[in-house]
Amino acid sequence: ERITQTVEITKHVVDIEEKGVKLRLTIVDTPGFGDAVNNTECWKPVADYIDQQFEQYFRDESGLNRKNIQDNRVHCCIYFISPFGHG
């Protein structure tokens, strides 16, 4: 059975607390990213998502009510490469 490629961006939010320090970690998952034979512009949805998050933060920061701004910008990208590559 053939597995279909998915490049759907899903967002998972986890609240972590250790020794009184609170951290909200947002994990953005892109399953199937780059798995297709033709990877032309497969990076575009991820780059668009990063741009949207930055623009939203900039709009919130430029507004009048800046007290409760949520920072959803992407601060780090980790790309896992399959150990079972094509050579």
Taking the C-alpha atoms of residue 3 and residue 53, their distance in angstroms, rounded to an integer, is 30
For residue 17, the model assigns a pLDDT of 94
**58-85 per-position pLDDT tens digit:** 988 888 777 888 888 887 877 776 677 6
Tokens 């279909």 locate to 4
Taking the C-alpha atoms of residue 25 and residue 45, their distance in angstroms, rounded to an integer, is 21
Reported as half-sphere exposure (CB side, CA atoms, 13 A), residue 77 has a value of 10
Q: Is 70 exposed, middle or buried (0-12, 13-18, 19+ CB in 10 A)?
A: exposed
Q: What is the pTM of this model?
A: 0.64
